[in-house]
Amino acid sequence: MDSSRKPAELADLLGTWSRGEGPLYRRLADTLRDLVEQGTLTANERLPSERVLATALRVSRTTVVSAYDSLRSEGLLDSRQGSGTRISGRVAPVRPDGWTRNGSGNPMYRNLFQREEGLISASCLNTPALSGVETAIRRVVAEDLPSLMAESTYYPRGLPALRQAIADHYCRLDLPTTPDQIVVTTGAHQAVNLVSQLYLREGSPVVVEDPSFAGCLDLMGDRGARFLPVPLDDQGIDAVGVRRAVVEHAPHLVYVMPSYHNPTGTMMSAARRRELGELSARHGVPILEDAAYTGLRSPDEPSPLAAFAPRGAEVISVDSLSKVSWAGLRVGWLRAPAEMALRLSRRKVLADLASPLLDQAVTVRLLEDYGNLARERSALMSEAIVHMEGLLRSSLPAWEWQRPDGGAALWVHLPGVDSRAYAQVALCHDVELVPGPTMSASPDGRHAEYFRLPVAFDADTREELVWRLARAWREFHRHGPVAEDPVRLVV
């Protein structure tokens, strides 16, 4: 079976390859070699031609030719007339590095592994701690530490006090909940992973929003999910599209982000939540409701989707305090029917036995003041979005976006421009971006003219970020759009 690497996929995998010291071709060769040694690129896999890869990376063809020649001399690449360039069949097999989804690289978390000096990464959201986090920690140390230190067992489903606090939190959101419906996890990311493990297997059809959150698509893709992308409108995922997918494909799961959608920031309407809940009850399809993407919030936010679901619907709700209080607090949770919560807690035991008690105790204290924390974070995000919009209108007036209903980023449209090509130029100006196709499960490269732009930086960093983006935009247009002759596109 012929295995070929698409140029856009390879560009994603290469990441920040162009940064560093030495000739550009050498940096490219070094990064390709690393991908082979890590098992991301495998023996006999065909690479794009020099011309095509040069176009994707917006460098001269000479750069790619020299990089390929260097790797051929090392025995890592083979080239044959009519067969193109391939990873050598003599390369020893390596276990895959687990960094790809359906052959595509996900750049969102790359900078978490290696901090690049001078690089502004707009790939992940920043959530510095609110002052209330320190207050909660001090209260735990002063008031709760003796009882915590006396604990001599694990709590796979979560600290009882925290499960009760989370249940009370949902009750305040008009969703009656008992502690036996709650499983505490190490962040919302783990909660989505546990659900994926329980519901999905190789080939499982999954309805997802298009675009969607790349991190969770990776989790489900790792289980072999077969995605059924459905577009959004201003009320959330298109209910007609979901209904059609349910009837035609009998999906094993529907994954949605009602409050708020990542990356567009759209808030799903109450009517749309009710439609999905009724669909779940009627067809017996489970829904995974991910509400962890918050920041800016609407005062008219509806109750969770599960609150609109009739009896018999199977809705699992996932949330955390990471985007509200502090990214460093890796505590999340899921709410599910009690029998499903028990099954998911067994998966939790296999994953890590239980989450740290000290972190859970801090979360109990934070939930006591959740309303104030959420309002404070929302006010900070509102200020940040207004500032970012002003900078963009001044420096990049051709760009387009809609003010999000919530969240912590703008979904920016680059009219007539491939965001992957622009991201390569931005990288040369020390900015890392996540192009729109990375946030999509569609195989046809949808959202190519979009990228997600987080706003949760300090004011000085936002100004520097937009200044660099504007320089990259001018550089991009100085060379014109991607053309047949990549030699004109040297950056």
Q: What is the pLDDT of residues 105-119, one digit of tens each?
A: 555 665 566 667 889
CB-hemisphere CA count at 13 Å for 472?
24
Range(s) within the chain of domains with CATH label 3.90.1150.10: 121-128+372-489
More confident residue, 92 or 96: 92
Whether the per-residue pLDDT at 125 is higher than 50: the answer is yes
Amino acid identity of residue 256, one-letter, is: V
CATH superfamily, domain 121-128+372-489, is Aspartate Aminotransferase, domain 1 (3.90.1150.10)
Range(s) within the chain of domains with CATH label 1.10.10.10: 7-101
Tally Cβ neighbours within 10 Å of residue 464. 15
pLDDT tens string 397-421? 999 999 999 999 999 999 999 999 9
Pairing mode of beta strands 205-210, 226-233? parallel
Give me the pLDDT at residue 90, please: 84
More confident residue, 479 or 248: 248
Give me the pLDDT at residue 5, please: 82
* Overall pTM > 0.85: yes
- Stretch 304-311: mean pLDDT: 97
Question: What is the distance between the alpha carbons of residues 89 and 72, in angstroms, rounded to a whole number?
Answer: 12
Q: Exposed e or buried b for every residue in 130-169, given b needs 16+ CB within 10 A?
A: bebbeebbebbeeebeeeeeeeeeebbbbbebbbbbbbeb
Give me the pLDDT at residue 489, please: 35
Question: What is the distance between the alpha carbons of residues 443 and 423, in angstroms, rounded to a whole number?
Answer: 20
Whether the per-residue pLDDT at 456 is higher than 80: the answer is yes
Give me the pLDDT at residue 6, please: 85
- Stretch 319-337: mean pLDDT: 95
Q: Domain spanning 7-101: which CATH class is it, in words?
A: mainly alpha
Q: Which pair of structure tokens corresponds to residue 81?
A: 């007339």
Question: What is the distance between the alpha carbons of residues 142 and 136, in angstroms, rounded to a whole number?
Answer: 10
Give me the pLDDT at residue 292, please: 95
Lowest mean pLDDT among 1-5, 249-253, 450-454: 1-5
Give me the pLDDT at residue 153, please: 86
Place of tokens 């979360």: 363
Give me the pLDDT at residue 394, please: 98
Whether the per-residue pLDDT at 389 is higher than 60: the answer is yes
CB-based contacts of 317, cutoff 8 Å, min separation 6: 170, 175, 289, 291, 304, 305, 306, 334, 335, 336
Question: What is the distance between the alpha carbons of residues 98 and 384, in angstroms, rounded to a whole number?
Answer: 35
pLDDT interval class at 487 (50, 70, 90): very low
The phi and psi torsions of 47 (rounded to 5 degrees) equal -100, 160
Question: What is the distance between the alpha carbons of residues 162 and 298, in angstroms, rounded to a whole number?
Answer: 26
Give me the pLDDT at residue 52, please: 93
Range(s) within the chain of domains with CATH label 3.40.640.10: 131-370
Place of tokens 């659900």: 195
Question: What is the distance between the alpha carbons of residues 422 and 444, in angstroms, rounded to a whole number?
Answer: 19
Whether the per-residue pLDDT at 103 is higher than 70: the answer is no
Q: Are 310 and 278 in contact (CB under 8 A)?
A: yes
More confident residue, 283 or 6: 283
Lowest mean pLDDT among 98-102, 142-146, 165-169, 327-331: 98-102
pLDDT interval class at 486 (50, 70, 90): very low
Question: What is the distance between the alpha carbons of residues 414 and 418, in angstroms, rounded to a whole number?
Answer: 7
pLDDT over 70 for what percent of the chain?
91
pLDDT tens string 5-62? 888 888 888 888 888 889 999 999 999 999 988 888 888 899 999 999 999 998 999 9
Give me the pLDDT at residue 115, please: 65
Whether the per-residue pLDDT at 440 is higher than 90: the answer is yes
Q: Are 242 and 207 in contact (CB under 8 A)?
A: yes
Q: Which pair of structure tokens corresponds to residue 101?
A: 């989804």
- Mean pLDDT, the chain, rounded, equals 91
pLDDT tens string 139-195? 999 999 999 999 888 899 999 999 999 999 999 999 999 999 999 999 999 999 999
pLDDT tens string 185-226? 999 999 999 999 999 999 999 999 999 999 999 999 999 999
Question: What is the distance between the alpha carbons of residues 87 and 198, in angstroms, rounded to a whole number?
Answer: 36
Whether the per-residue pLDDT at 435 is higher than 50: the answer is yes
Give me the pLDDT at residue 20, please: 81
318 strand-pairing partners = 290, 334
The answer to whether domain 131-370 has CATH 3.40.640.10 is yes
Give me the pLDDT at residue 184, please: 98
